[in-house]
A and B are shown apart, each in its own frame.
Chain A
Amino acid sequence: MTSVPSPEVLRAPLVVEFPFTRSLGPVQSAFLTGLRERTVLGVRTGDGRTLVPPVEYDPVTAEEIRDLVEVATTGTVTTWAWNHAPRRGQPLDTPFAWVLVRLDGADTALLHALDVPGPDAVRTGMRVRVRWAAERVGAITDIACFEAYDGEAAEPGSAPHTGVFDDPVTGIVAAARLDYTYSPGRAQSAYINALSERRTVGERCPSCRKVYVPPRGACPTCGVATAERVEVGPRGTVTTYCIVNIKAKNLDIEVPYVYAHIALDGADLALHARIAGIPYDEVRMGLRVEPVWTEGGRYPDHYRPTGEPDADYDTYKELV
Chain B
Amino acid sequence: MAPHDQPQVAVVAFGQSDHLRTTDELSEVEMLMPVLHEVLAATGLKTSDIGFTCSGSSDYLAGRAFSFTMALDGVGAWPPISESHVETDGAWALYEAWVKLRTGEADTALVYSYGKSSPGSVRDVLTRQLDPYYVAPLWPDSVALAALQAQALIDAGETDEPALAAVASRSRTAAATNPHAQLRGAVEQGEYAVRPLRTGDCPPVGDGAAAVVLATGNRARELCERPAWIRGIDHRIEAHGLGVRDLTDSPSTRLAAERAGLFERPVDTAELHAPFTSQEVVLRRALRLADDVTVNPSGGALAANPMMAAGLIRIGEAAARIHRGASDRAVAHATSGPCLQQNLVAVLEGEARA
Q: Does B74 contact A (CB under 8 A)?
A: yes
Interchain CA distance A124-B152 in the complex, whole Å: 8
Q: Does A87 contact B (CB under 8 A)?
A: yes
Q: What is the distance, in angstroms, from A26's C-beta to the closest C-beta of chain B?
A: 13
Question: A106-114, A155-163, A286-294, A311-319: which lies at the B interface?
Answer: A106-114
Whether B36 pairs with A88 at a CB distance below 8 angstroms is: no
Whether B70 pairs with A223 at a CB distance below 8 angstroms is: no
Whether B133 pairs with A100 at a CB distance below 8 angstroms is: no
Q: Does B56 contact A (CB under 8 A)?
A: no
Interchain CA distance A16-B136 in the complex, whole Å: 16
Chain A residues lying within 8 Å of B75, measured Cβ to Cβ, are 223
What size tier do the contact residues of chain A reach? Answer: 35 or more
Q: What is the distance, in angstroms, from A144's C-beta to the closest C-beta of chain B?
A: 11
Q: Which B178-199 residues have C-beta < 8 A from chain A?
A: 192, 194-197
Interchain CA distance A225-B70 in the complex, whole Å: 13
Whether A14 pairs with B140 at a CB distance below 8 angstroms is: no
Interchain CA distance A20-B60 in the complex, whole Å: 14
The chain B residue with its CB closest to the CB of A55 is B241
Chain B residues lying within 8 Å of A209, measured Cβ to Cβ, are none
Q: What is the distance, in angstroms, from A90's C-beta to the closest C-beta of chain B?
A: 5
Whether A220 pairs with B72 at a CB distance below 8 angstroms is: yes
Q: What is the distance, in angstroms, from B337's C-beta to the closest C-beta of chain A?
A: 14
Q: Does A260 contact B (CB under 8 A)?
A: no
Interface SS, B side: helix
Whether B29 pairs with A216 at a CB distance below 8 angstroms is: yes
Q: Produce 1/0 per residue, A182-198, CB < 8 A to B.
A: 11111110000000000
Whether A53 pairs with B25 at a CB distance below 8 angstroms is: no
Q: Does A249 contact B (CB under 8 A)?
A: no
Interchain CA distance A179-B77 in the complex, whole Å: 32
Chain A residues lying within 8 Å of B148, measured Cβ to Cβ, are 79-81, 98, 100, 111
Q: Produce 1/0 per residue, A1-39, CB < 8 A to B.
A: 000001001010010100010101000100010000000
Q: Which of A22, A55, A113 has the most CB of B within 10 A?
A: A55
Which listed residue, B60, B139, B247, touches A89 by the CB 8 Å rule?
A: B139
Q: What is the distance, in angstroms, from A53's C-beta to the closest C-beta of chain B?
A: 5
Q: Does A139 contact B (CB under 8 A)?
A: yes
Knowing A87-B141, A180-B62, A186-B26, say if A218 contacts B132 (CB, 8 Å).
no
Chain A residues lying within 8 Å of B106, measured Cβ to Cβ, are none
Q: Does B294 contact A (CB under 8 A)?
A: no
Q: Does B55 contact A (CB under 8 A)?
A: no
Q: Produce 1/0 per residue, A219-260, CB < 8 A to B.
A: 111111100000000000000000000000000000000000
Knowing A178-B128, A218-B73, A223-B36, say if A51 contacts B121 (CB, 8 Å).
no
Knowing A174-B137, A225-B33, say if A180 contacts B119 (CB, 8 Å).
yes
Whether A111 pairs with B70 at a CB distance below 8 angstroms is: no
Knowing A14-B63, A87-B123, say if A81 contacts B27 (CB, 8 Å).
no
Q: What is the distance, in angstroms, from B54's C-beta to the closest C-beta of chain A?
A: 15
Knowing A20-B132, A28-B133, A81-B194, say if A178 contacts B76 (CB, 8 Å).
no
Which listed residue, A81, A140, A176, A221, touches B147 by the CB 8 Å rule?
A: A81
Interchain CA distance A216-B239 in the complex, whole Å: 41
Q: List 9 A-B contacts (CB under 8 A).
A: A59-B244, A79-B151, A108-B243, A112-B138, A180-B119, A187-B30, A222-B76, A223-B36, A223-B73
List the 8 closest pairs (A to B, CB-CB), nearest first: A223-B76, A185-B27, A109-B243, A81-B147, A89-B139, A59-B239, A82-B195, A218-B73
- Additional 6 contacts, C-beta under 8 A, given A98-B144, A172-B132, A186-B26: A9-B25, A178-B63, A178-B124, A178-B125, A180-B119, A186-B25
